[in-house]
A and B are shown apart, each in its own frame.
Chain A
């Protein structure tokens, strides 16, 4: 039979065109020097290599040991039930073109299906499916399956550009190479698949967390997230602006790890954020997220805490669904904010959440965290939380609270579980308010917010706050509208109080313009109606508006 080399020995399967199935041979047939070449394939050092490096090393060693022209490794893709060219020397195109071969047909496909060694003396007369072997002029082929613990993981084959008979000795070498390399390939492949998932999960996690914390006058926020050393989890935090100038801050932890937990985290974070924007109370917001979780397949679970802050008054309303108690850090150190516990999200049908309202004092910091920060083997949770209180007790800013918590409580080698922390500080309200701002209409709301906070502390009533804020915002609007200078223009607001007398000065570098039309006239009218005294000093270098009003007049 042309191209068919009768093989002496018991052939276990009937030959197909040009293919000879070879029974296994003893490795003793191989030359010692050939085996030495392959010895390093099972070195522990080799298993430290990435899959790519490992496969290339294998190719070169097999090529040298057998003096062949081509070596190829195809890995088994279980889902597609195909062999995928993964590494090759002499026939690199096979990998570049991403050759995929069916199991059961052709040379490599049959090796994989029947888990036998196959020899082809002359490819012209054999059943070859891979066009690249023919294009490259490969004449003779020998291939063996790669098997780990009874599972097929791929095929290793060598080729010669000149007709060549691969004998028992060659088979012994190739068999030995396959035997030694297969576990390494499998390990490297698992590591690489795992690393891939880890990278994807990290990317997902990063893309789902806020890229930038909202800047909010009167409050400063800081946050940290660190994935576990070996796996990404489902921790999240969020901070956003709500209607009526309020601020929402949330933290959560999806039970589980990996890509699925990260994806679920993204859904829950979005759901909470969206329900919160609908102006639901913190408790109702968590209940709605719970109902949302209840509709999801696979019954996921998560814990979460959500707080709404009113920056004008410092009132904080907090609800928790099975989450660890937040901390409030003040002058007397840190204390936990216990909330009547509700079950975790997704745990119980129709669970109800309760709320707690507290006053977040001027200069105090609210700290929310996930269990990865405090859970330690062999340490009671309450002890860990006490330790956290000690560690962050002296923090004077949101940033410092996050830094201290991470520096002191996250192990140097990385956390065992992922860790998220978010801190929010209610800025100290100064005796005198001094703001310098860009002449941009978007800062007007910030001025009003800062002024309202300051006025409340000075003992202003609702009507005082409303009318003074209106007058000052009018003066600032004027500064913004009329600011014109080559450099980015600025204006300033200075507010002081003495014995219930409020004095506010708004300065800009633009020129005061005599009110044109009815609109600007209304601004000045509002200032004059709202304040006891208004004086406008318009100089070429800039305009100064001084306004006075007695509180609770």
Chain B
């Protein structure tokens, strides 16, 4: 079994990517490429759901920053879904970047925030 998996779905003009498993240096390169590819020009945002990610470290944070930059150049927004009890939440906190990325507690909340923006 692969360390991590990705499930894509469309919510109107927003692409939702649900990640599961562990993200580290061994797979963030591939995952970043897949996520960037999955967002068509017609979409205006990507929601990355990290609720079910068991492990994430600086390689995963790097992936998020790169992805955000890549989407920004295309005029697209990135929003993360990280509940307070998710391991990804601790990683962002320990890295001191919690406030730097747009984050919601659920996919629904993320979609609502994007609608309002």
Binding site for B on A (CB under 8 A): 240-245, 277, 441-442, 444-445, 448, 466-467, 469-470, 473-474, 477, 480-481, 518-520, 522-523, 525-526, 529-530
Contact = CB atoms under 8 A, between A and B. Distances in A.
B99 to A, nearest CB: 14
Contact of A525 (B59, B87, B94): B94
Interface stretch (B6-14, B16-24, B40-48, B70-78): B16-24
Interface in B54-101: 54-55, 57-59, 61-62, 65, 87, 90-91, 93-97
A525 B91 CA distance: 11
Nearest to A214: B1
B113 to A, nearest CB: 25
Contacts of B36: none
A245 B54 contact: yes
B58 A522 contact: yes
Contact of A529 (B62, B65, B96): B96
B25 interface: yes
B25 A477 contact: yes
A467 B57 CA distance: 10
Contacts of B97: 522
A519 B62 contact: yes
Nearest to A452: B55
A466 B3 CA distance: 17
A375 B59 CA distance: 54
A102 to B, nearest CB: 56
Nearest to A527: B94
A156 B106 CA distance: 82
A240 B1 contact: yes
A525 B95 contact: yes
B58 A467 contact: no
- The 7 A-B residue pairs with the shortest CB-CB distance, nearest first, are A441-B26, A523-B58, A241-B1, A529-B94, A522-B58, A441-B25, A519-B62
A442 B26 contact: yes
Contact of B90 (A241, A466, A519): A466
A520 B62 CA distance: 9
Contacts of B25: 441, 444, 477, 480-481
Interface secondary structure of A, over-half rule: helix
21 contacts: A240-B1, A243-B1, A243-B5, A243-B20, A245-B54, A441-B24, A445-B26, A466-B87, A469-B55, A470-B55, A470-B91, A474-B58, A477-B24, A522-B95, A522-B96, A525-B96, A526-B57, A526-B95, A529-B93, A529-B96, A530-B94
Nearest to A449: B22
A324 B95 CA distance: 51
Nearest to B63: A519
Interface secondary structure of B, over-half rule: mixed
B49 to A, nearest CB: 15
A467 B1 CA distance: 25
A519 B20 contact: no
Contacts of A469: 55
Nearest to B20: A243
A474 B90 CA distance: 14
Contacts of B20: 243
A244 B95 contact: no
Contacts of B90: 466-467, 470
A242 B94 contact: no
Given A442-B26, A445-B26, A526-B91, A477 B54 contact: no
A239 to B, nearest CB: 12
Contact of B57 (A240, A245, A477, A518): A477
Given A519-B65, A522-B61, A522-B97, 5 more contacts: A444-B26, A445-B26, A448-B55, A470-B57, A526-B57
Nearest to B54: A244
Contacts of B58: 474, 477, 519-520, 522-523, 526
A473 B94 contact: no
Contacts of B62: 519, 522
B26 A470 contact: no
A152 B54 CA distance: 70
A518 B65 CA distance: 10
Nearest to B3: A445
Contacts of A520: 58
Contacts of A245: 22, 54
Given A243-B20, A477-B59, A526 B94 contact: yes
Contacts of A474: 57-58
Contacts of A241: 1
Contacts of B61: 519, 522
A245 B22 CA distance: 9
Contacts of A530: 94
A473 B60 CA distance: 12
B97 to A, nearest CB: 7
